[in-house]
Amino acid sequence: MGKKPFFGGAPNMGNLMKEAQKMQAKMTKMQDELDNMLFTGSSGGEMVTVILNGKGILQKIDLSPEAVDPDDVDMLQDLIVAAFNDANNKVEEYSKNQMSQMTGGMSIPGLF
C-alpha cells in the first residue's frame, strides 16, 4: 500500500487556478465599472460641488457665486478641498464595499 499524501485531500490545483482566474475577471470587470462611475462631493451647504470619476480624477467643479468672495480666498480653497475629500471618500467607500462583496468579507492585503 502506498502512503497517503501528507496534506490528505489537498485541493486540486487546476480548480484553484480556475477560481483565481474567475476572481481576476470579476475584479477587472468591477474596476472597469468603477472607472466609468461618477461620485459627487460637496461642502459649504453645496456652495462647492466636485465630481470625481472612480479613479479619483476630478471631472468637474461647480462653485456657487456666494462661494467666490475675493476677500476670502482661503475659505474658497478650504471648501474645494473639503468637497474633493467628500467625493474621494465616497469613491473609496464604494470600492471597499464592492471588494468586500466579491471576497465575501475576507480582507485581502493590498486590495483596497
Q: What is the pLDDT of residue 64?
A: 97
How far is Cα 78 from Cα 94, in angstroms, rounded to an integer?
Answer: 24
pLDDT range class, residue 25, cuts 50, 70, 90: confident
**CB-CB contact of 103 with 75 (8 Å):** no
For the chain, domains (ranges, CATH) are 41-103 (3.30.1310.10)
As a whole-number percent, the residues of the chain with pLDDT over 90 amount to: 53
Q: What is the mean pLDDT of residues 70-78?
A: 96
pLDDT band at 53 (very low <50, low <70, confident <90, very high): very high
CA distance 83 to 52: 10
Is the pTM for the entire model greater than 0.95? no
